[in-house]
Amino acid sequence: MYKLRQTLARVYAGAFVFYMLIPLVIMAAAAFNDNKTPSVVPWKGFTWKWFEALWADDRMWHAFQNTLLVALAVALISVIVGTAAAILINSVSGNLRSVLYGTMISTILIPGAVIGISTMIMWTKMGGALFGAEKPFPFIPGLHLSVLGQVSYIAAIVMLLVLARLQSFDQGLEEAALDLGATHGQVMRRILLPHLYPAIGAGAAVAFFQSIENFNVTQFTRGGADTLTVYVFSKVRSGITPTINALALMLICVTLALAIVYEIKRRRSASLEAAREAEARRAAALEEAVI
């Protein structure tokens, strides 16, 4: 019975990996097919021309640059807002905690199109009220509104990651530091934030990639600017070519490279930590032997 469960688990894992990877493989193969449509069938020969066309597409590179700038801004603001919200929610209790938590979480449940439209209407109306109809700047639609709209729900995702990390934090460390004369700022910088760094880093990564793949909010708030998702959408409407496959393949390769670098760094750090712990155990054993 155990062997049967083990076999079924392996079959399920293999089928799951196959289901997840085969679309990526087909998509990547289409980038090398000398066919005007993004497909592997019919196969008309190997070519690099779609990568050459992608390299010559100035609009795509401008959209990619805008996407990176927006994603970096969203990641930075979301980490600040999400971390602050998590610390605040963790420090209060009762009905206030429930209200704050529900308010932050509610943005995740709102459809992206609603967030995009609401962001555009609110900020443009606010600009008209503050500056008059003649000077609505800086509340005209643009990438700055895309950043604000995306932060409104991505910050909640960061908050959840940081809040989960806070559950393992020993509150006694703060009290001990305060009793020893540390200020609240020192406790934050030297005790609390170092404990939260893994969650903050994960939250920044999630916010960055959530921003890159965002479409609904960006579509309603971008004004005349292009981002990568908007560019791809416009290509789909006007006639998509395998240049999109070439772009997707490049993004996948960059993501895999970053994941490999991170895993190598993580394993090296783990091996160094294990070596230090082993050295400490040997030193303790020698000290006990001498005594």
- Model pLDDT for residues 9-31, shown as the tens digit of each residue: 889 988 998 888 888 888 888 88
161-197: string of b/e by CB count within 10 Å (b at 16+)? bbbebbeeeeeeebeebeeeebeeeebeeebbeeebe
Q: What is the pLDDT of residue 208?
A: 92
Centre a 10 Å sphere on the Cβ of residue 40 and count the other Cβ atoms it contains: 17
Q: What is the pLDDT of residue 3?
A: 80
* pLDDT of 182 strictly over 80: no
**Alpha-carbon dihedral of residues 274, 278, 283, 284, nearest 10 degrees?**
100
Given CA atoms 153, 154, 157, 158 in this order, what sign does their dihedral have? negative
User: pLDDT tens-digit profile of 60-115?
Assistant: 888 889 999 999 999 999 999 999 999 888 888 788 888 888 888 888 888 888 88
Rounded to an integer, the average pLDDT of 235-261 is 82
Please, what is the angle between helix 58-91 and helix 228-238, to 10°?
Answer: 130
Rounded to an integer, the average pLDDT of 127-150 is 69
- Which of the four pLDDT bands, split at 50, 70 and 90, describes residue 129? low
* pLDDT of 33 strictly over 90: no
Centre a 10 Å sphere on the Cβ of residue 229 and count the other Cβ atoms it contains: 19
Please give the C-alpha separations between residue 10 and each of 24, 252, 272, in angstroms, as whole numbers.
22, 26, 33
Percent of the chain surpassing pLDDT 70: 95
Give dist(CA 129, CA 132) in Å, integer. 6
Q: What is the pLDDT of residue 110?
A: 85
Name which of 49-53, 87-91, 136-140, 251-255 the model is least confident about: 136-140
* pLDDT of 132 strictly over 60: no
In terms of Cα–Cα distance, which of 224, 220, 240 is closest to 232? Answer: 240
Beta carbons of 49 and 217 less than 8 angstroms apart: no
More confident residue, 9 or 133: 9
* pLDDT of 140 strictly over 80: no
Cα 123 to the center of its chain, rounded Å: 25
Q: What is the pLDDT of residue 69?
A: 92
Give all domains of the chain, ordered by start, each with its CATH number. Answer: 31-290 (1.10.3720.10)
* pLDDT of 253 strictly over 70: yes
> Which residue do the tokens 């529900």 mark?
102
pTM for the model: 0.79
Q: What is the pLDDT of residue 138?
A: 52
Q: CB within 8 A of 33, min separation 6: which ones? A: 39, 40, 43, 44, 45, 46, 47, 242
∠ CA 23-24-27, nearest 5°, is 85
Q: What is the pLDDT of residue 139?
A: 65
Average pLDDT, the chain: 83
72-94: string of b/e by CB count within 10 Å (b at 16+)? ebbbebbbebbbebbbebbeeee
More confident residue, 211 or 279: 211
* φ, ψ dihedrals at 46, nearest 5°: -80, 140
- Which of the four pLDDT bands, split at 50, 70 and 90, describes residue 159? very high
Q: What is the pLDDT of residue 39?
A: 78
